[in-house]
């Protein structure tokens, strides 16, 4: 499969990232070939798996990361076991006695509007699964902020995460901040006709997916009724991790949700809308009222709110099996301290 990359002149060279992305795709193809080969030894299969994992870990670091310390920063990390972790918004690469802390990742913001009209429009298949890992009351904000990370973080080392907070100005709008590109294979969900893998099948069910935006924005909404209750409201904006290639810089689109007409039995009804286990979820009665998704209300709101974003265009970063445009803005402002 051929990949196309388009890149503008930026502060730093994205080519290593693109090359690595391409290499990852090729290795995954090779891995498929090796796994299917009856003559392949267990050792070669194991090596292929390790190589693929290594590529994914590397991409997790390189996606949106600028090494201020230059190439030597990485060359200082040598010897011993290498581990990759994330703490306080920083990616930390540790090996032996050394560690490299990286703060910046691709970061962008979406605004999701929810309005009071019903309009369930059939199933949709969405791309990414998120797992909620925290919620905080934010100083000066009327509504709490929910924290999500990629549900495949453990299994595939994907470091993508997002924060969701209801807007103070307009309660019908949710500010969704994404950080980090997906390095997992969830994008495969977007491929029509492609059977989900075993794990994904566990994560999804037909009731989860209610929308499909023509723009390519996929929104998952679960258990709208229970949004009235302190738990179990759920939705995700998977495509936000792969913003519409047609979107221009600082372009604003809006994802429109609509709530069902008031239904007295809503609170208790509907086992059919219970949230699946591992889903992109947002939970908080105060945050998430009984909204129902609708796919004819509008586009998605993609807002890049940083003044110093560099524009990068790449393709198929997250999936070797799919070619799609990917426009995003990378905040290169953050510092990249090196510590021991």
Partner DNA sequence: TTTATTTGACCCCC
Partner DNA sequence: GGGGGTCAAATAAA
Task: List, edge to edge, every strand of the sheet that includes 338-339.
Answer: 82-87, 90-95, 98-102, 338-339
Minimum distance between the CB of residue 129 and DNA, rounded to whole angstroms?
Answer: 8
Q: Beta strands 90-95 and 82-87: pairing type?
A: antiparallel
Angle at 116 between CA 136 and CA 305, to 5 degrees: 50
Cα 128 from Cα 142, distance rounded (Å): 28
Find tokens 């190589």 and name the residue.
Answer: 51
Annotate each residue in 97-116 with x if it binds DNA (CB under 7 A) or - if it does not, as one string: ----x---------------
User: Quick check: helix, strand or coil at residue 150?
Assistant: strand
* SS3 state of residue 172: coil
Residue 278 Cβ, how far from DNA at the closest point, in Å?
Answer: 3
Ordered DSSP codes for 294-336: -SSS---EEE---TTEEEEEEESSS-TT---EEEEEEE--S--
**By CB under 7 A, what part of segment 15-74 binds DNA?**
none
> Is 291 in contact with 227 (CB distance < 8 Å)?
yes
Least Å from the CB of residue 43 to DNA: 29
- Residue whose pair of structure tokens reads 């298949």 in the numeric block: 125
**Of 322 and 334, which CB lies nearer to DNA in the complex structure?**
334
Least distance CB 249 / DNA (angstroms)? 23
* 259 touches DNA (CB under 7 A): no
Q: Which of 185, 209, 232, 294 contacts DNA by CB under 7 A?
A: 232
> Is the CB of residue 108 less than 8 Å from the CB of residue 301?
no
Q: Which stretch binds DNA (CB under 7 A): 65-73, 109-117, 231-239, 255-263?
A: 231-239
183 vs 315 by CB, closer to DNA: 183
Q: Residues 238, 280: contact at Cβ < 8 Å?
A: yes
Q: How far is the CB of 140 from DNA (least distance, A)?
A: 6
Among 4, 33, 202, 250, binds DNA (CB under 7 A): 202
Phi, psi of 43 (to 5 degrees): -65, -45
Binding mask 130-169 for DNA (x = CB under 7 A): -xxxxxx-xxxx---x-x---x---------x-x------
Q: Least distance from C-beta 314 to DNA, angstroms?
A: 24
> What string marks each residue from 275 to 314 as x (binds DNA by CB under 7 A) or -?
xxxxx-x-xx------------------------------
**Interface residues with DNA (CB under 7 A)?**
85-90, 101, 131-136, 138-141, 145, 147, 151, 161, 163, 202-203, 230-232, 234, 271, 274-279, 281, 283-284
């Amino acid at each position: 499969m051929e990949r196309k990359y388009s890149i503008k002149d930026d502060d730093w060279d994205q080519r290593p990232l693109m090359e690595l992305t391409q290499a990852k795709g090729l290795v995954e193809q090779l891995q498929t070939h090796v796994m299917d080969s009856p003559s392949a030894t267990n050792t070669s299969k194991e090596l292929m798996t390790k190589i693929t994992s290594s590529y994914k870990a590397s991409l997790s670091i390189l996606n949106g990361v600028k090494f201020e310390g230059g190439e030597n920063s990485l060359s200082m990390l040598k010897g011993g076991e290498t581990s990759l972790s994330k703490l306080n918004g920083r990616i930390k690469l540790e090996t032996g006695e050394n560690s490299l802390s990286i703060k910046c990742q691709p970061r962008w913001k979406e605004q999701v509007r929810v309005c009071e009209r019903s309009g369930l429009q059939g199933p949709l298949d969405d791309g990414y699964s998120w797992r909620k890992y925290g919620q905080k009351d934010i100083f000066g904000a009327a509504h709490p902020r929910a924290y999500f990370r990629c549900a495949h973080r453990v299994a595939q080392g994907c470091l993508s995460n997002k924060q969701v907070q209801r807007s103070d100005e307009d309660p019908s709008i949710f500010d969704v901040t994404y950080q980090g590109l997906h390095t997992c294979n969830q994008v495969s969900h977007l491929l029509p006709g492609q059977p989900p893998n075993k794990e994904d099948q566990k994560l999804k069910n037909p009731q989860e997916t209610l929308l499909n935006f023509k723009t390519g924005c996929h929104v998952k909404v679960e258990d709208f009724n229970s949004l009235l209750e302190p738990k179990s409201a759920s939705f995700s904006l998977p495509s936000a991790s792969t913003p519409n290639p047609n979107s221009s810089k600082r372009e604003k689109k809006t994802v429109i949700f609509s709530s069902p007409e008031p239904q007295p039995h809503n609170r208790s009804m509907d086992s059919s809308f219970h949230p699946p286990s591992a889903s992109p979820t947002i939970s908080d009665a105060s945050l998430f009222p009984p909204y129902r998704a609708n796919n004819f209300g509008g586009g998605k709101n993609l807002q890049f709110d940083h003044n110093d974003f560099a524009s990068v265009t790449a393709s198929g970063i997250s999936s070797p099996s799919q070619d799609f445009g990917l426009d995003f803005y990378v905040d290169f402002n953050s510092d990249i301290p090196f510590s021991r």
